[in-house]
Chain A
Amino acid sequence: MIKLKINGQERNWDGDPDLPLLWFLRDEIGLTGTKYGCGQALCGSCTVIVDKEAVRSCITSVSDVVNREVTTIEGLHPTGDHAVQKAWRQVNVPQCGYCQAGQIMQAAALLLDNSKPTHDQIREAMSGNICRCGCYQRIENAVHLASTGV
Chain B
Amino acid sequence: MNIITRPHKLRGIEGRIGIEKISRRSVLTGLGIAGGLVLAAPVTSRQAFAAYETGAGKMPHGTVVDPRVFVAIASDGTVTIVAHRSEMGTGVRTSLPLVVAEEMEADWSRVKVAQAHGDEVKFGNQDTDGSRSTRHYLMPMREIGASARVMLEAAAAKRLGVPVTEVKAVNHEVVHSASGRRLGFGELAADAAKEPVPSIGSLKLKDPKDFRYLGKGQVSIVDLRDITVGTAQYGSDTRLPGMKYAVIARPPVTGGKLVSFDATDAMKVSGVEKVMEVQGWPWPSKFQPLGGVAVIARNTGAAIKGRDALKIVWDDGANGKYDSVAYRSELEQAARKPGLVVRKEGDVDGALKGADKVIVGEYYLPHLAHVSMETPVAVANVRDGKAEIWAPVQSPGGTREDAAKTLGIPEDNVTVNVTLLGGGFGRKSKCDFALEAALISKAIGAPVKVQWTREDDLRHDFLHTVSVERIEAGLDKSGKVIAWRHRSVAPTIASTFAANAVHAAPFELGMGLIDMPFEIANIQCENPEAAAHARIGWFRSVSNIPRAFAVQSMVGELAHATNRDQKDMLLELIGSPRLVKLDSVKDPWNYGEPFDSYPIDTGRLRRVVELVADKGGWGRSVPKGHGLGIAVHRSFVSYIATIVEVAVDDKGKLSIPRVDTAIDCGTFVNPERIQSQIEGAAIMGLSLAKYGEITFKDGKVQQGNFDNFPVVRMDEAPLITNVHIVPVAADTPPSGVGEPGVPPFAPALVNAIFAATGKRIRALPIGKQLET
Contacts and interface: CB of A to CB of B under 8 A. Distances in A.
B469 interface: no
A98 B714 contact: no
A73 B271 CA distance: 26
A36 B714 contact: no
Q: In the A-B complex, list the 6 residue pairs whose CB atoms are closest, starting with the nearest.
A: A33-B230, A134-B683, A98-B422, A96-B89, A23-B301, A73-B230
Interface stretch (B284-292, B400-408, B717-725): B717-725
Interface in B65-112: 87-91
B515 interface: no
A80 B707 CA distance: 33
Please classify the interface of chain B as helix (H, G, I), strand (E, B), loop, or mixed, using the class held by over half of its residues.
loop
Contacts, number: 199
A129 B302 contact: no
A28 to B, nearest CB: 6
B299 interface: yes
B395 interface: no
Contact of B371 (A20, A76, A88, A132): A132
Nearest to A128: B713
Contacts of A38: 454, 705-706
A32 B229 CA distance: 11
B717 A80 contact: no
Contact of A134 (B371, B375, B680): B680
A126 to B, nearest CB: 5
Nearest to A27: B299
A42 B707 contact: yes
Given A23-B299, A32-B237, 12 more contacts: A19-B299, A28-B299, A40-B454, A94-B89, A96-B424, A97-B422, A104-B228, A130-B711, A131-B683, A131-B714, A132-B684, A140-B714
Given A27-B300, A37-B454, A45-B373, A97 B420 contact: yes
B373 A98 contact: yes
B715 A135 contact: no
A35 B392 CA distance: 14
A97 B228 CA distance: 8
B676 A96 contact: no
B407 to A, nearest CB: 26
B221 interface: yes
Interface in B451-468: 451, 453-455
A103 to B, nearest CB: 9
A140 B672 CA distance: 17
B245 interface: yes
A95 B716 CA distance: 19
Interface in A132-149: 132-140
Given A28-B299, A85-B229, A123-B714, A35 B245 contact: no
Given A23-B301, A35-B236, A98-B374, A138 B220 contact: no
B241 to A, nearest CB: 11
Contact of B715 (A40, A94, A101, A123): A123
B222 to A, nearest CB: 11
26 contacts: A15-B271, A19-B302, A20-B301, A33-B230, A33-B231, A34-B230, A35-B236, A36-B375, A37-B374, A40-B705, A40-B706, A42-B706, A74-B231, A92-B224, A95-B677, A96-B421, A99-B422, A123-B717, A129-B713, A130-B713, A132-B423, A134-B681, A134-B682, A135-B679, A136-B712, A137-B679
A35 B422 contact: yes
A36 B225 contact: no
Nearest to B227: A97
